[in-house]
Structure 1
Amino acid sequence: MDQKLNITYIRLDGYVELDKYRFVYFVIMFTAYILIICSNSTIVCLIVIHKNLHEPMYIFIAALLMNSLLLTTALYPKILFDVLSEKQIISYLACLFQWFTTYSLAGSEFLLLAAMSYDRYVSICKPLQYPTIMSKINICILLVVTWILPAGQLGMSVALNANIKLCSFTLKGIFCNNSIYKCQCVSSGALSIYGVFMLANIALLPLLFILFTYTRILLISYRSCKTVRNKAAQTCLPHLLVLINFSCFVTYDVVVVRLESDFPKTARLIMTLQVILYHPLFNPVIYGLKMKEISKHLKKLLFQVKSH
């Protein structure tokens, strides 16, 4: 703690042999950051530029990829700075802000995936009502809710945690996640209950809704003609792959806090790097390759780049 400025600092103790592998860490993280920005931005730009991609499904994909860009930007600059620094520290308030940004955007991702599953459900199960239900106004409302709802709930949690006394000033991670609770002197029962409420509200309920909608799509597709089944497979499979991938990482993040003392440091670092490296690159690859219209425009773009 800096007594003069009355600022509490947290030490990030998640790196393994940083002094020895500092350059390797930096090259990997910087390369990944550039790839994430380029791949996600390219598909977002394609969706914005081409009018035939101005449909609800592609708008939600663009929002999901923008969400990945925001999440990456909340983490990578600080990580790159830490890798080059002698001390890996962050002020407690900055740590809470990073925690807020990370989990707010993670919650938005679940809600965006839920909105995408609803869009596919209406498209396949209620095609005649699709233009009315998925109107521009309704899409705007869904997008606003997906970003405002998690931010509002987590903002309340940050306000409640800001003045809690800390007894530990070392965080076993490379960025601020749920492990911050381990630094608090006393575990608040009210905050724990509120945390469970938030988890249910912005993760579990959207997940159950997604499973319900895809179950309905599966049942209706099974009873329908081959064309409907092909449409369902082409548009729903990428969403399901992204959902499974993201759910696995969120489950890891929740579980590792409970098993923190028994979880090897190297294994924890490898898993954390997979979360922040793999997932933001997974989304644009899946949507770029699996979504027919996006893939077509992407191939045209690559052909134009090669020809020049």
Structure 2
Amino acid sequence: MDDDLNVTIITFGGHVELHKYRYLYFTIMFVVYVLIICSNSTILSLIWVQKSLHEPMYIFIGALLFNSLLFSTCIYPKLLIDFLSEKQITSLSLCNLQSFTYYSLCGAEFLLLSAMAYDRYVSICKPLQYEVIMRTKTVVVLLILAWILPACQLVPSLFISKNYKVCHLTLNGIFCNNSISQLFCMTSRASYITYGAFIALNTVFLPMIFILFTYIKILIISFRSSARMRKKAAKTCSPHLLVMISFSCLCSYDIVIARLKIDLDRTARFIMTLQVVLYHPLFNPIIYGLKIEKIYRHLRKMFSYDKCLCV
């Protein structure tokens, strides 16, 4: 606690051998961050520029990639600064803000995937009504709700934390996530756990159930239809399912380790935490760039054109 400024200083205690490998950590994570920015921005710009990609499916993909950029920017700059700093510290207010932003964007990810699943459901199961249902207004409303709803649900957490006294000043992690609750003095964590379960239910489990339900419906209708319909369903739905599965696995680690307080080895915790912020933002543009035929075709055309200019 800094008495002069009345600021509570939190120390990140999850780093491993930082004094020995700080420059290696920094170089790897900096390269990854640049790759995340470049890959996501490239496809995002392509969707923005190409009028043929101004369709709901591609707009939702663009929103998902933009969310990945926001997610990475929430974590990486502070992480890179900490790798080069003598002390890995932050203020409690900034820690609360980072945790709030982190989980808001995680919730937005699931809701965007839900919107994409709904779009695919309408496209494949109700093709004649697609243009009527998936109007521009509908797409805009779904995008706004995807970012607003998780943030609104998390606002109370900012006020709840102010009611608790800080008992511990070391956070068992490398950035602010669920483990922030372990800093506070709580005689009973029942209310905090109940609130966390409510948030997880609304932003993770219900969207996942909805996504699985829509894809099961798509699968049933596709198998009853022609081979062409099955091929279309596989091409457009498989990338979304891959992204959902990968992100769900990473989120489950965050919930299980932080909420259930599993005593995981420090090095294993460090590696797993890095994977949460490393794989997914890189995974999205690779999946959508390679698996979505229209985007892949534009990317190949763009890079082959650049190569021709160089020659």
CA distance in structure 2 between the aligned counterparts of 1:215 and 1:126, rounded to whole angstroms: 15
SS of equivalent to 2:273: helix
Aligned partners of 1:294, 1:43: CA distance in 2, in Å? 8
CA distance in 2 between counterparts of 1:178 and 1:159 reads 16
User: Unaligned regions of 5+ residues in structure 2, if any?
Assistant: none
User: How high is the sequence identity, in percent, across the aligned residues?
Assistant: 59
Q: Which amino acid aligns with 1:290?
A: K
How far did 1:289 drift? Answer: 0.1
Deviation at 1:121, TM superposition (A): 0.3
Cross-structure match for 1:179:
179
What residue number does 1:78 align with?
78
Partner residue, 1:272: 273
Give distance in 1, aligned partners of 2:273 and 2:19. Answer: 19
Kindly provide the amino acid, as one letter, of the partner of residue 5 in structure 1: L
After superposition, what is the alpha-carbon deviation per residue over 1:28-83, rounded to whole angstroms, capped at 9, x for unaligned? 11000100000000000000100110000000000000000001001111001101
Cα deviation for residue 231 of structure 1 reads 0.5
> What's the CA shift for 1:5?
1.0
Q: CA deviation at 1:259?
A: 5.0
Q: Which residue of 2 aligns with 1:89?
A: 89
**Aligned residue-pair number:** 308
Equivalent residues in 2 for 1:1-308, closer than 5 Å: 1-186=1-186, 187-258=188-259, 260=261, 262-307=263-308, 308=310
**TM-score, reference length from structure 2:** 0.97
Deviation per residue, 1:139-188 (Å, 9 max, x gap): 00000000000011111211211342111111111100000111111044
Question: In structure 2, how many angstroms separate the alpha carbons of the residues matched to 1:235 and 1:189?
Answer: 42
Q: 1: CA distance between counterparts of 2:217 and 2:251?
A: 25
Which SS does the other structure have where 1:10 is aligned?
A: strand
One-letter amino acid of the structure 2 residue matched with residue 116 of structure 1: M
Quote the RMSD (CA, aligned, Å): 1.0
Deviates more, 1:76-85 or 1:182-191: 182-191
In 2: Cα distance, 1:160 partner to 1:149 partner: 18
Distance 1:154 1:140 in 2: 22
Q: Distance in 2 between matches of 1:189 and 1:261?
A: 18
Shift of 1:301: 1.4
TM-score (normalizing by structure 1): 0.98
Q: 1:4 is paired with a residue of what secondary structure?
A: coil
Residues 96-117 of structure 1, C-alpha deviations (whole Å, 9 max, x = no match): 0000000000000000000000
CA positional deviation for 1:193: 1.5
Shift of 1:92: 0.5
| Structure 2 residue identity aligned to 1:133 | I
Letter in 2 for 1:285: I
Q: Which amino acid aligns with 2:39?
A: S
Query: In structure 1, how many angstroms separate the alpha carbons of the residues matched to 2:304 and 2:270?
Result: 39
Deviation at 1:261, TM superposition (A): 5.2
**Counterpart residue type for residue 87 of structure 1:** K
* Counterpart Cα distance in 2 of 1:137 and 1:15: 46
Measure the CA separation in 2 of the matches of 1:302 and 1:62.
19
Aligned residue type for 1:170: T
Letter of the structure 2 residue corresponding to residue 224 of structure 1: S
Distance 2:137 2:301 in 1: 32
- State how far apart, in whole Å, the 1-side matches of 2:295 and 2:3 are: 55
CA contact (8 A) 2:82 2:88 kept: yes
* 2:256–2:262 contact (8 Å) kept in structure 1: no
CA distance in 2, matches of 1:261, 1:131: 49
- Matches of 1:273 and 1:301 in 2, distance apart? 32
CA contact (8 A) 1:93 1:162 kept: no
Aligned-partner residue type, residue 291 of structure 1: I
Q: Specify the code of the residue in structure 1 equivalent to 2:245.
A: I
Instruction: Give, in whole Å, the separation in 1 of the partners of 2:194 and 2:55.
Output: 39
Once residues 10 and 305 of structure 2 are traced to their aligned partners in structure 1, the CA distance between those partners, rounded to angstroms, is: 49
